[in-house]
Amino acid sequence: MDGTGELFTEFLSYYDGDHLVISLSESGPQDHATLANVINKKMPTEDYILLAESFAGGIVPELLKLNISHMKGVIFVASFLSSPNKYLLQIAKLLPIKSLASAPLSTIFHKFFLLGQEVSKELLSKFITVTKSIPDLVLKSRLEVMSQQRLPTTTSDIPSIYIQALSDKLISPQKSLEFTKIFTNIKYIEIEGPHFILQAKPREAALLVNKLIQSGEL
């Protein structure tokens, strides 16, 4: 949900291929349709595979409505298409998220729900720094979008792969399987780790993504 792209650094250091990180706009509405229109202007003008992590997964159906001809496949990572837990998200909107990010007991929360028990001090520190760098209004707006998120009404047969983090405490298996209702040509691959799997296991995740792209499955 941070949308900065700054948490992909280590993952990309292991990824053997051309790439472009597109950060989410921190100005204007934060709904998926608006973000899709902004992102569309930054997309490559040559064929590419799109990787969408967590919150960004909901942007993909809106992008596909724009008839993006160069998108040849999608890799979803620990993502969701409808609200993962609208009641908890409604509560989260009322909390001082940025202040809580570095509160005394926040490390316990970050390890259990987001980054895993084996997270390094360096990654944990960077995660907190990035979270605190995002305008509070942007965080609240994205939480609102997530709390109101509903399954898209249109389907797509674009080749897709869903990388499912087996120890994901935020996205239930049922939420993951919702993708089969919208993306009719999707394959699931499981990997052990927490919600932030690309950050918690950057090398393993990067090698997997690289293999998927090189294998021609997308």
Within-domain flag for 16: yes
Within-domain flag for 41: yes
Opening angle at CA 180, ends 192 and 7, nearest 5: 45
Q: Which residue has the tokens 């509903």?
A: 150
Total-model pTM: 0.90
Within-domain flag for 37: yes
Within-domain flag for 214: no
Within-domain flag for 78: yes
Within-domain flag for 128: yes
The one-digit pLDDT tens for each residue of the chain (218 residues) are 778 989 999 999 999 889 999 999 999 999 999 999 999 999 999 999 999 999 999 999 999 999 788 999 999 999 999 998 765 555 554 444 555 555 566 777 778 677 888 888 898 888 888 888 888 889 888 988 988 899 999 999 999 999 999 999 889 999 999 999 999 999 999 999 999 999 999 999 999 999 999 988 88
Q: Which residue range(s) make up the domain with 42?
A: 6-207
User: Please, are residues 31 and 148 in contact by the beta-carbon 8 Å criterion?
Assistant: no
Q: In this structure, which amino acid lies at residue 19? A: H
Q: What are phi and psi of 205, to 5 degrees?
A: -65, -40
Q: Which residue has the tokens 């008839």?
A: 67
Total tally of structural domains belonging to the chain: 1
Within-domain flag for 99: yes
Interatomic CA distance for residues 15 and 202, integer angstroms: 9
Based on the number of CB atoms within 10 Å of its own CB, is 40 exposed (0-12), middle (13-18) or buried (19 or more)?
middle
Within-domain flag for 51: yes
Give the domain CATH number at 10.
3.40.50.1820
Tell how strand 160-165 and strand 71-77 pair up: parallel
